[in-house]
Chain A
Amino acid sequence: MSNVISASRLTLAYDGGRKEIIKNATFQIKRGEFVFITGPSGSGKSTLLKSLYGALIPKNGTLMVGGLNLNDISKRKLQELRSHMGIIFQDYKLINEWTVEKNVVLPLMIAGYSTDIQQTQAQKLLRHVKLTEHANRYPLELSGGEQQRVGVARALSKNPFLILADEPTGNLDEYSSNVIWDLMENANSQLSATVVVVTHRIPNIFNTPYRHLIIENRGIYEVR
């Protein structure tokens, strides 16, 4: 199977390269894999995820995502790449002035799909995340768990080849967390999307031995 993500001797840093967070990390993630990346707070999990969607340029080494080299990717190519990704954030990053339905179809809107297609897809996704009755409500009228389900629906709206999730259940109770994990497992198994989740702890719900990478002492290591 081909690699969706490939990092070779990857070094990530802030402050103009002075503060190194990840150093000389080499790893690959294959198409269709579900991978957990864990590590203690401040170890660089979110930094790694930011680099995977191109918000952080590697200091050294190479980072390929979806066959594109993120070290020197153009703005246009990066926009194109991101439009085929689904990104889920701990703080949801929903647009509070927009309805739930409009939030869900944001990637379709960006890609220029017709209103009809957007509406059909929104209904399907909202049914999938069990939020049909909230379609015309605004994010701030929903609970945290519901908002994150909107975030997941948005991430799935364009059948992404890669889903990146940054502590997706960090702010949620156990019930809501389990709903989110179910949705992400479904995306992986039914849509064949590659899923990369960074989290400080793998939830107990996962009995299946998914692949697990750990960030420690600025390196990235295989756990299983």
Chain B
Amino acid sequence: MKSARDHLMFVLPLMVILIGIEFFIVFDRVTQNYEEKLKSSYSILVVARKKIDLPTFKKIDDRIVDAETMKRKDIARIIAKEMRNASGNEILKSLPYFYSIHLNSFLRQDEIDGIEKKLMKYPGINRVETFGDSHNSKYNLFVFLKTLFWSFVLLMSLVSIFLIIKQMEVWHMAHRERMQTMEIFGASMMLRSGVLFRMGIVDALTATMLSSGIFAILKYYWVPNSGIELFMQKRDLIFEPADIAILLGISMTIVIVAVINVAMISREIRE
């Protein structure tokens, strides 16, 4: 009974950390696509009196990666249709140049405002349209949710780390005398902490299996019936076999750090 409780005291906080990390991995994987789409669909419209090539745009701001020229002839033809007494060529002559500017990443509104100012200072540019409001609100909501989720995972991890530290203190109290006696009789650190390592490894394996099990159940039983379209479409991304290795690696690292720490603080101090 005592032994089961000792294991649980370490397995549970370890599981909370692993579940938090796996949630983050899954969330990140599922939303990565969406984020990419948001980034790539965003562009700034530039209206200029003269032709401007991509290197010039890059000189204005190095975050500009592409400048797509909008076809002026097509625009002129459409206008000419509307205006019966004007020829297409005349319209084309007086028509400014239109560019759709793409950036290397999705920037904050203040950064986009900075680029807008730089573009407006460039001679020949008449107008810049950043379409900030509608696009930003979508992206900001997305970033807000992601940050909120991150904060939650971080908070849970901090609480769990605190619980693991408490458990390390329990280990220290329970094993100090044994470890010190073994040290007096010449046992190496590995031998002294062997019991803790064995216990920790069992706990790490248990926590990894339970956490992976929870996600496997979510993937195969909950998601198909959840009605959440995003999750149903991306079901394959929700839990991958490789995640077990990541979780096992993390839990083993936590165990090794915890046991070495206990062994170090329990060692004899040569005065």
Contacts and interface: CB of A to CB of B under 8 A. Distances in A.
Do they bind each other? yes
Interface of A: 14, 53-57, 78-83, 87, 93-98, 106-107, 110-111, 154
A110 B191 contact: yes
Contacts of A110: 182, 185-187, 191
Contact of A14 (B181, B184, B188, B271): B271
Contact of A83 (B178, B186, B270): B186
A54 B270 contact: yes
Contacts, number: 47
A87 B184 contact: yes
27 contacts: A54-B270, A55-B184, A55-B270, A56-B270, A56-B271, A57-B270, A57-B271, A78-B186, A79-B187, A80-B186, A82-B184, A82-B186, A83-B185, A93-B177, A93-B181, A95-B177, A95-B182, A106-B182, A106-B185, A107-B185, A107-B186, A110-B182, A110-B186, A110-B187, A110-B191, A111-B186, A154-B185
A97 B187 contact: no
Nearest to B187: A110
Interface of B: 177-178, 181-182, 184-188, 191, 268, 270-271
B184 A53 contact: yes
A54 B185 CA distance: 11
A87 B185 contact: yes
A89 B207 CA distance: 41
Most buried by B among A53, A78, A106, A154: A106
A14 B270 CA distance: 11
A151 B270 CA distance: 23
Given A80-B186, A110-B186, A110-B191, A95 B181 contact: yes
Nearest to A13: B271
Given A55-B271, A57-B271, 19 more contacts: A14-B271, A55-B184, A55-B268, A55-B270, A57-B270, A79-B186, A79-B188, A80-B186, A81-B186, A83-B185, A95-B178, A95-B181, A96-B177, A97-B178, A98-B178, A106-B185, A107-B186, A110-B186, A110-B191
Looking at chain A's contact residues, the main secondary structure is loop
A121 to B, nearest CB: 15
B187 A93 contact: no
A17 to B, nearest CB: 10
Contacts of A55: 184, 268, 270-271
Nearest to A16: B271
Contacts of A106: 181-182, 185
Given A95-B177, A95-B178, A110-B191, A82 B185 contact: yes
A93 B181 CA distance: 6
Contacts of A111: 186
A82 B184 CA distance: 7
A57 B269 CA distance: 10
Nearest to A70: B270
Contacts of B187: 79, 110
Contacts of B184: 53, 55, 82, 87, 93
Contacts of B182: 95, 106, 110
Contacts of B188: 79
B251 to A, nearest CB: 26
A57 B185 CA distance: 17
B112 to A, nearest CB: 61
A155 to B, nearest CB: 9
Contacts of B268: 55
Contacts of B181: 93-95, 106
A163 to B, nearest CB: 13
Contacts of A97: 178
A79 B270 CA distance: 13
A154 B191 CA distance: 18
Q: Which 10 A-B pairs have the closest CB atoms?
A: A83-B186, A82-B186, A79-B186, A110-B187, A95-B178, A93-B181, A56-B271, A107-B185, A110-B186, A57-B270
Nearest to B271: A56
B104 to A, nearest CB: 54
Nearest to B267: A75
Contacts of B271: 14, 55-57
Contacts of B191: 110
Contacts of B177: 93, 95-96
Contacts of A93: 177, 181, 184
Contacts of B270: 54-57
A62 B270 CA distance: 16
Contacts of B186: 78-83, 107, 110-111
